[in-house]
Amino acid sequence: MAGCGSSLFGNGSQFIKINAGDFVAVQGSDTRERLITSDLRMPYKQILKSRVILKPGQANYLLNHLGMGDNATFLGIRVTYDPKSVIEADNYIQWSYYDNLTRINAFAQMMVLTGNSTNRIPQLYLTNANTKYSVVLDVMVASIDDSYSFFTDIINQSGTTFTGLEYTDIKTWIINESFVVYDKSTPKRPLIYVNLSNINSIEINGDILIIDDESYGMVFLKFLTHFDATQAHSILNYILKNPNVDIDNIIPIIDNLSPVIYFNSTAGTGGDYILYNDGITIGATSGTPYNTFDNGFTFSTSISIASFGSYSIIDKNLLKGLLIDHVTDYRDGLMELMPSELIISGTAGVVSSIATTGSYSLTFDFSDIAENKIGDVIVNLNITS
C-alpha cells in the first residue's frame, strides 16, 4: 500500500521514509509532503510476528497469516532485498488473494492491509519475481478478536484451490462419473474428486482453470505453465462430451493438432469451384470439396459481387456461408466458426466487408480449446462484377 527506502525514486536525496510514525517525502534536507499516520489506532486481540524467506523465483507461497488463517484484520509486510540485487525493476513481490488467483498484484518495499470484524483479510499467495536472489519478508499479523469461525474453506491443496499442477495430474476416477486431481507426492495422493454431472462450466485464465461446480463452488486449478492449463482444459472438455472415455486411454494425450476447415465444393450455388494450390498444381474441379488437412493451406475461388442483390456487398457472414461447410477438430469435434473470426484483407488492408471488385484474401483467427490455431490457411478471392 505504501513504499519506503532510499531507492524508491532512484535518487539518493529524494525518497519517502517513515519519521515519527508518519510517511514523509524528503528532497535533500527539505520535507516536501507528510502523510500523518501516527494517530492511527488499529485494535487487536491476537498478534503474530515472523520472518519468511522466499527463494529465487519461488512461486505461490501460501501466506496463511502465520496460522491465523482468514481471521486477520491487520497485515504488514516489510521487504528486504539481497544487496546484490541492484536492478530496481527486478525487486518486487507478486501476490494474489487465495480466492482470486486470476488477479495478480505487486508491491516493492512494503505493504499494509487492514480490515475489521466483518471484512477480514483473505490469505495470500506470494511469488518472488526475482529468479536470481532470495528475498526476506518481515511479517506482522493481527486480529481484532479471537474468532476462528470465519472462512471455513481449507486452502492449500485440500479445499477449492490447488497449485503447482501439470495436465498429467488429472485422471479418470470412475468412468462415466468423475475425475481426480493428484498431488506430486510419492505415492501420489488425491487432492479432489469432481463429479462430471456437477460441473456447470470450465473457464481458462492464463495458467488457471476455473471450474464452477455445484458441490464445491468455484474450484481453482493453477498449473505450472499455460501449456499445462490448455491441455487440461482440452482433456476435461473432452471427457465432459465423452464421459465413457478413460483419460489414460486418450491417444495422443497431448492435443497439438489444429482444427480442420471443410470447404464447400463451390462458392455458393452455381458459383465457381473452390480450388486448392499445393505449390505444384492447382486442385482440379473433380474430387471437391477440399479441406485444410488433406489439401494444404492455400485455396482460391472467384465470386461475382453482382450475384447478391442491389446492395452488392459481401460481408463476413455471407462469405462464411459461401465458402465453408463446417469446421471440426479431432479432440473437440464439430466447432462453430463465428463470422468475427474471419479476416478479410485487400489492397487497402483489413476490411470488414467486400464492396468492390478486385483481389482479396481470407484468413482465420480461430483455435480449438487447446489453443491450436488454424494456422496459415489462406483463401485467395477474385471478386468480379
Identify the residue with better confidence: 308 or 112.
112
Q: Residue 100 has what pLDDT?
A: 74
Q: For the chain, how far is it from start to end, CA to CA, in angstroms?
A: 65
Domain with CATH 2.60.120.810 in the chain: 46-143
The predicted structure's pLDDT at residue 152: 41
Band (pLDDT 50/70/90 cuts) for residue 11 is low
CA distance 58 to 78: 18
Go through 194-221 and write b for each residue having 16 or more CB atoms within 10 A of its CB, e for each that does not.
bebeebeebebeebbbbbebeebeebbb
Distance of alpha carbon 105 from alpha carbon 121, whole angstroms: 15
Q: Which three cell numbers stand for residue 127?
A: 511469488
- The per-residue pLDDT for 6 is 42
With contact defined as beta carbons under 8 Å apart, do 107 and 4 qualify?
no
Do 57 and 128 form a contact (C-beta atoms < 8 A)?
yes
CA 192 to chain centre: 22
Average pLDDT over residues 180-189: 88
Separation between Cα atoms, residue 361 and residue 70, nearest integer Å: 56
Sheet of 105-107, strands arranged across: 61-63, 124-128, 93-97, 105-107
Q: Which range has the worst mean pLDDT, 68-77, 93-102, 171-180?
A: 93-102
Confidence of residue 153 (pLDDT cuts 50, 70, 90): very low
In this predicted structure, the answer to whether residue 281 has a pLDDT above a threshold of 70 is no
DSSP state of 291: B
Say if strands 124-128 and 61-63 run parallel, antiparallel, or are unpaired: antiparallel
Which range is least confidently modeled, 265-269, 277-281, 288-292, 332-336? Answer: 277-281
Is residue 80 within 8 A of residue 5, CB to CB? The reply is no
The pLDDT of residue 92 is 96
Position with higher pLDDT, 182 vs 385? 182
Fold of 46-143: Jelly Rolls (2.60.120)
Residue closest to 373 by CA, chosen among 295, 203, 276, 257: 257
Lowest mean per-residue pLDDT among 263-272, 295-304, 358-367? 263-272
What is each CA distance from 203 to 200, 225, 236, 360, 370, in whole angstroms? 10, 16, 11, 36, 12
Strand order, beta sheet including 349-351: 275-276, 298-304, 378-384, 358-364, 342-346, 349-351
Task: Delimit the CATH 2.30.29.30 region(s) of the chain.
Answer: 161-249
Q: What is the mean pLDDT of the chain?
A: 86
- Average pLDDT on 217-226 reads 89
147: confidence class by pLDDT, cuts 50, 70, 90: low
Count of Cβ atoms closer than 10 Å to residue 164 Cβ: 13
Is residue 284 very low, low, confident or very high in pLDDT (cuts 50, 70, 90)?
Answer: low
Whether domain 161-249 has CATH 3.30.565.10: the reply is no
Largest Cα–Cα distance of the chain, in whole Å?
88
| pLDDT at residue 71, rounded to an integer | 86
Stretch 186-213: mean pLDDT? 89
Contact present, 24 and 31 (Cβ < 8 Å): yes
Q: Identify which of 338, 356, 332, 336 has the alpha carbon closest to the alpha carbon of residue 346.
A: 356
Q: How confident is the model at residue 79 (pLDDT cuts 50, 70, 90)?
A: very high
* pLDDT attached to residue 283: 66
Q: CB atoms < 10 A from the CB of 43, how many? A: 12
Residue-wise pLDDT for 17-33, tens only, equals 888 888 889 988 888 89
Asked if 247 and 172 count as a contact pair (C-beta separation under 8 A), the reply is: yes
pLDDT for residue 1 is more than 80: no
Note whether 181 and 237 are within 8 A (CB). Answer: no
pLDDT of residue 15: 87
Quickly state the pLDDT bin for 256 (edges 50, 70, 90): very high
**Which pLDDT score is estimated for 9?**
44
Is the pLDDT at 158 greater than 50? The verdict is no
pLDDT above 60: residue 343: yes
Instruction: Give me the mean pLDDT over the 102-120 stretch.
Output: 91
